Amino acid sequence: MLKKITWKIYDSNVVIRMLPFPRKEEDATFKDLASDFTAFVLQKASQIGTPSQIHLIFDRYYEESVKSQARINRGGNDQAVAYNIAVGGRVHVNKDTFLSNSCNKAALARVYTEYLSSTADLPQGLEVYTSGGNDNHAARITAHKIETVPELESNHEESDTSRSYSTAYMLLAGIQSNDEVFKALSSQALSSLGTGKPTTNEVNAAHKFVVALYGGREETLLELRCKLALRKVAPQKLPPTENSLYQHILRVAYQLFVWKKAATGMLEVKDVTKFGWERNVDTKQLQPIMMTQPCAPPELLNDILCCCEDCNEDCSCLVNNQSCTADCVCRAALPGVVNMDEDDFMCANPLTLSAFCEMSNCCDSD
């Protein structure tokens, strides 16, 4: 049996973005900001009647995470000044500049949580839950007391998944049997998501989907790329390579893992460098892996061409440890492979023969 609970969940960082910062001449404090934030939340919540619970979910900000990289891509600037703020501190900062720094947003969440825990005048019968503003800890605040809520402890970085966890907590408060909750949260739609690295069947299914997305039918991704390239399709409009797509699939698998664990408070974080991400050597920031193979064969990535008649040991291609190409004087023409006129040059570069055999799969194992 369900018992009636009227509750409201806020993405607190969205509310912070909505509310204006005071002008410098107003000489306001961060306590004033916290008061405005609390008043806004209570006023909006009252519009649905008399709520018994309000959940305030703040984003978390880890220095090295996929989410922090996404914030930077959206315009975040962690090079902006990080302020040491307190409840009674003066607000003499530009809002956009201040909120562009993750440390400032985390500090503001702590100040708001501190204000709610010590100063806010809450109505009788109302419970305010805060999470994300004090590390992994969560608190229940009423007009008479403040207490920690171990069941709501969470290390999720995204407020999206934290809100889902709070929803699960509220369901538990209204359902007598926990089995009913976890049965609902473990539905068939969720059971197949984020279980680990994608299987071969899942990767093949993704390939077929992308082929269809680009107008293909039964071709492989590589065949479709070749077909479209011959039609002089702009390079940026070609489908991804199989290698590049696999890196994207890995990143999707990691995100699905995070979403699937939305009903779990303390997430066992996986190593993202095994899921399509790498650390930039210079900045140490995470960045997506575009591909793990060369963008083209080595002989196409340089401008070395030979002008040989017979490609002997002085052949510039051979000296640089690469096969000849069709742009060389010899045209990479191999004896017995192509029909040549008597006056045409023949390529004797052994690396050319090796490359041809590798492509045509005509060489013996020895």
At 243, the pLDDT band (50, 70, 90 cuts) reads: very high
Q: Does residue 363 have a pLDDT over 70?
A: no
Most confident region among 5-19, 201-215, 300-314 by mean pLDDT: 201-215
Q: pLDDT at residue 186 above 60?
A: no
Angle at which helix 159-174 crosses helix 178-185, to 10 degrees, equals 140
Confidence band of 169 (pLDDT split at 50, 70, 90): low
Sorting pLDDT into bands at 50, 70 and 90, what band is 344?
Answer: low
Tell me, what's the pLDDT at 163?
A: 56
In whole angstroms, what is the distance from residue 190 CA to residue 207 CA? 22
Taking phi first (over 0 means left), then psi (-120 to 50 degrees means alpha), and beta for anything else, what does residue 194 get?
left
Distance, CA of 354 to CA of 196 (rounded, Å): 39
| Position 246 pLDDT exceeds 90 | yes
3-state class (DSSP) for residue 132: coil
The predicted pLDDT at position 362 comes to 44
Position 143 pLDDT exceeds 90: no
At residue 242, does pLDDT exceed 80?
A: yes
Query: Average pLDDT in the 294-310 region?
Result: 75
Give the residue extent of every domain in the chain: 7-185, 200-288, 294-366
Q: Looking at per-residue confidence, does 336 or 342 come out higher?
A: 336
Question: Which of the four pLDDT bands, split at 50, 70 and 90, describes residue 329?
Answer: confident
pLDDT value for 145: 87
What integer pLDDT is reported at residue 185 of this predicted model?
46
pLDDT of 224 higher than 60: yes
State how far the Cα of 190 lies from the Cα of 181, in Å rounded to an integer.
14
Region 283-292: mean pLDDT is: 85
139 has a pLDDT exceeding 70: yes
Q: What is the average pLDDT score of the chain? A: 77
pLDDT of residue 366: 41
Closest residue by Cα to residue 152 from 284, 9, 319: 9
Extract the tokens encoding 40: 């806004």
Which residues make beta-bridge pairs with 252? Answer: none
Q: How far is CA 288 from CA 43, 61, 164, 195, 222, in A?
A: 42, 19, 27, 21, 22
Burial 16-53 (b: 16+ CB within 10 A, else e): beeeebbeeeeebbbbbbbbbbbeebbeebeeeeebeb
Question: Given a cut of 50, is residue 180 above it in pLDDT?
Answer: no
pLDDT the model gives residue 37: 92
Assess whether pLDDT exceeds 80 at residue 280: yes
Q: For the residues of 72-121, what is the DSSP string, one character each?
A: HHTT--TTSPPP---TT-B--S-HHHHHTSHHHHHHHHHHHHHHHHHT--
Helices 242-260 and 200-213 cross at an angle (nearest 10°) of 110
pLDDT tens for 35-67 read 999 999 888 877 766 778 888 888 877 766 776
pLDDT of residue 161: 58
Residue 167 has a pLDDT of 57
- The length of the chain, given as a count of residues: 366
